Structure 1
Amino acid sequence: MVGILIVTHGNLGVTLAECAQHILQRELPHLAVMAVDKNDDPDRKLAEARELVRGLDDGSGVLLLSDIFGGTPSNIASRLIEPGRIEAVAGVSLPMLVRSLCYAGQPLETVVSKAVTGGLEGVMYIVPGDAHGASAS
């Protein structure tokens, strides 16, 4: 099972993980979260992230999901990338996370692809009176 580590500013990752667990109605043992705060030492957080990745990797690989590309969480994630074993995607959202979790039993490259499409397809313009929305183009 592909492990998933959410690395975000503050408690965003914790909240996303709790929401995903609520939606999926099951325990998520292959999911971990690491919060990064403005006073944290990035090198210490990098070491913490390495330990979390080690604990999540059962040989299937790990997907790192960060919030804003270029921020400290994504910079930490980028330093952990090992192509084919540890991959990273920035711009984490609830649709991205849920899609990743639903496909975590697939190969890592599939989970990465599903994470990106989940994030893209999760952005919808809601038309008044249309419960299904319309995609933003």
Structure 2
Amino acid sequence: MGKELEILLLTHGDWGKYIIDAGKMIVGNVDRVSQISLNPADTFEEFYEKVENKVSEMKEGSLIITDIFGGTTTNVAAKLSLSYKINIISGLNAPLLFEALLNIDSINEDSVLDSIVEEGRDSCKNILKELRKMTK
């Protein structure tokens, strides 16, 4: 059997470690998810090298999820996409990751990537406003 698709989280600090732990509690199997933390002492080049070492081992079509659009994590992923066939989503949140995990074998399809992004977007709610809608 060949390599399987993977998910790589790129986050500022150790947030990626903690959201993977949450994934274990909610989704179960997170064996195909890994993370690389961007630390304050890392230069762009150092972080790029760490991420490239991992991406070079990943199956084509695998997914990188970054925390902040326009941040170093996303910029490194975008630069790597010039040399590697990878997918990238920015805006990591728990429901987005869980949706990606539930669809991990199809994360190289545009429609699945779109549904993952939509799940992440739809999970952000103004709770009091939502509650007010329910009581009307």
Question: TM class, shorter-chain normalised?
Answer: 0.7 to 0.9
Q: Report the CA distance shift for 1:49/1:111 in structure 2 as closer, same or farther (over 3 A).
A: farther
Corresponding residue for residue 32 of structure 2: 30
Name the one with the larger strand percent: 1
1:31 maps to a residue whose letter is: V
**Distance (whole Å) between structure 2 residues aligned to residue 79 and residue 129 of structure 1:** 39
Q: Is the 8 A contact 1:31 1:56 kept in 2?
A: no
* Runs of 4+, deviation exceeding 4 Å: none
Q: Percent identity?
A: 23
1:8 corresponding residue in structure 2 = 11
Instruction: Please give the residue correspondences for 1:31-70 in structure 2 after superposition, counting only pairs within 5 Å.
Output: 31-57=33-59, 59=60, 61-70=61-70
Aligned residue identity for 1:32: S
Q: Over the residues paired in the alignment, what is the CA RMSD in angstroms?
A: 2.4
In the alignment, structure 1 segments of 5+ residues that lack a partner are: none
Asked if 1:71 is matched to 2:71, the reply is yes
Q: Identify the structure with the greater helix proportion.
A: 2
Contact in 1 for aligned 2:56/2:84 (Cα 8 Å): no
- Total equivalences in the alignment: 129
- SS of alignment partner, residue 69 of structure 2: coil
Between stretches 61-70 and 121-130, larger displacement belongs to: 121-130
Whether contact under 8 Å (2:63, 2:107) holds in the other structure is no
SS in 2 for 1:89: strand
C-alpha separation in 2, matches of 1:50 and 1:19: 26
Corresponding residue of 2:114 = 113
Which structure has the larger Rg over C-alpha atoms? 2
